[in-house]
């Protein structure tokens, strides 16, 4: 499978719709994110932030061009594309099974690697000493992830991205469902647990979350209306 070596992402004239006869939800969006950059994406509800993540993976109908490491993604098959970009959705669906199976479905990694990722992701640090059940690699995940909070599911999905060593990671932050402590844990893990060369796009609901980003992207009604450093905006 194709694997991006740098995580540079360029988008040219990207438009998207959910069905052939449906309205366009992204209009002519163009931007470039360089390798290792941290970008915050903001915009009102319905402005197209999640749709942008789906369009990058061609999960919805798109027009325009997307380049990964200067390679047009329409030359990649969908499997390669979807293994090259890790997207953590607002409400991740997990596999039923264990934490281990979710982190490493093809049994490619040692426990030490998986435990390192869990630690770096912050999942363990969210546990309290008096919690009845300690999470381990063998802890069971109910169908879809129902026995974990949405925030914990996002953290587990983040740990999976760390195990995969994704060079391009897009986090679609959960909205109201997430508590302050979990949100902070995720932000802290992103700051400290990722390799420096990982390109990170964070869809954020609090401006404070993106103030230390390299660049901020503002979407409004499916259009990119601002893209620059926090100082410029
Ligand atoms: P939020 O901050 O609430 O997550 P968002 O910026 O992620 O909002 P999107 O979910 O991308 O917004 O929605 C953009 C537009 O696409 C909206 O008009 C929405 O109604 C439409 N849309 C979203 N999901 C679907 C879907 N599954 N089918 C059809 N239209 C959709
Ligand atoms: Mg959304």
The 3-state DSSP class for residue 73 equals helix
Q: Is the pLDDT of residue 28 over 80?
A: yes
Instruction: Give the per-residue pLDDT at 46.
Output: 96
Question: Could you tell me if residue 147 is inside a domain?
Answer: yes
Question: Could you tell me if residue 1 is inside a domain?
Answer: no
Instruction: Give the per-residue pLDDT at 177.
Output: 62
Question: Could you tell me if residue 4 is inside a domain?
Answer: no
For 106, 156, 171, the CA distances from 69, given in Å and listed in that order, are 26, 27, 20
Instruction: Kindly give the distance from the C-alpha atom of residue 46 to the centroid of ligand 2, in angstroms, as a whole number.
Output: 7
Q: Is the pLDDT of residue 233 over 90?
A: no
Ligand 1 pocket check for 26: Cβ under 6 Å: no
Cβ within 8 Å of residue 85, ≥6 positions away:
4, 56, 57, 68, 166, 168, 169, 170
Rounded to an integer, the average pLDDT of 9-23 is: 97
CATH number at residue 119: 3.40.50.300
Cβ within 8 Å of residue 131, ≥6 positions away:
none
Given the DSSP bridges, would you call strands 215-220 and 38-42 parallel, antiparallel or unpaired?
A: parallel
Question: Could you tell me if residue 134 is inside a domain?
Answer: yes
Question: Could you tell me if residue 196 is inside a domain?
Answer: yes
Domain around 177: 9-228
- Give the mutation target among 27, 40, 50, 178 for probing the ligand 1 site: most ligand atoms within 8 A of CB: 50
Kindly calculate the radius of gyration of the chain based on its CA atoms and give it in whole angstroms: 17
Please count the structural domains in the chain: 1
DSSP conformation letters of 122-191: TTGGG--TT-SS---TT-EE-TBTTTS-HHHHHHHHHHHHHHHT-SEEEEE---TTS-HHHHHHHHHHHH
Instruction: Give the per-residue pLDDT at 98.
Output: 94
Q: Is the pLDDT of residue 127 over 70?
A: no
Rounded to an integer, the average pLDDT of 199-228 is: 94
Q: Whose CA is nearest to atom 30 of ligand 1?
A: 18
Supply the pTM of this predicted model.
0.92
The length of the chain is: 233
Instruction: Give the per-residue pLDDT at 205.
Output: 87
Could you say which DSSP state residue 104 is in?
-
**Nearest ligand for residue 23 CA:** 1
Question: Could you tell me if residue 233 is inside a domain?
Answer: no
- Give the mutation target among 20, 25, 178 for probing the ligand 1 site: most ligand atoms within 8 A of CB: 25
Range with lowest mean pLDDT among 34-38, 95-99, 144-148, 155-159: 144-148
Q: Whose CA is nearest to atom 2 of ligand 1?
A: 45
Q: Is the pLDDT of residue 156 over 70?
A: yes
Of 98, 99, 105, 127, nearest to 185 by C-alpha is: 127
Instruction: Give the per-residue pLDDT at 131.
Output: 62
Question: Could you tell me if residue 16 is inside a domain?
Answer: yes
Q: Whose CA is nearest to atom 17 of ligand 1?
A: 46
Ligand 1 pocket check for 53: Cβ under 6 Å: no
pLDDT tens across 39-79, in order?
999 999 999 999 999 999 999 999 999 999 999 999 999 98
Question: Could you tell me if residue 43 is inside a domain?
Answer: yes
């Amino acid at each position: 499978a194709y694997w991006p070596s740098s995580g540079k992402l360029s988008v040219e004239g990207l438009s998207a719709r959910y069905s052939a006869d449906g309205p366009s939800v992204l209009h002519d969006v163009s931007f470039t994110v360089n390798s290792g950059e941290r970008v915050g994406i903001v915009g009102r509800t319905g402005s197209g932030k999640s749709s942008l993540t789906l369009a990058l993976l061609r999960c919805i109908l798109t027009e325009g061009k997307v380049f990964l490491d200067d390679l047009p993604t329409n030359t990649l098959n969908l499997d390669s594309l979807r293994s090259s970009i890790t997207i953590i959705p607002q409400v991740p669906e997990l596999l039923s099974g264990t934490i281990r199976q979710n982190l490493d479905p093809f049994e490619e990694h040692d426990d030490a690697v998986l435990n390192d990722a869990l630690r770096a992701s912050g999942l363990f640090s969210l546990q309290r000493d008096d919690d009845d059940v300690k999470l381990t690699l063998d802890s069971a995940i109910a169908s879809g992830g129902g026995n974990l909070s949405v925030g914990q599911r996002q953290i587990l999905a983040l740990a999976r991205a760390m195990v995969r060593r994704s060079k391009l990671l897009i986090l679609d932050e959960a909205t109201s469902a997430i508590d302050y402590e979990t949100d902070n844990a995720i932000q802290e893990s992103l700051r400290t647990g990722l390799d420096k060369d990982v390109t990170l796009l964070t869809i954020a609901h609090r401006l404070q979350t993106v103030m230390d980003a390299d660049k901020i992207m503002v979407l409004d009604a499916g259009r990119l209306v601002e893209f620059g450093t926090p100082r410029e905006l």
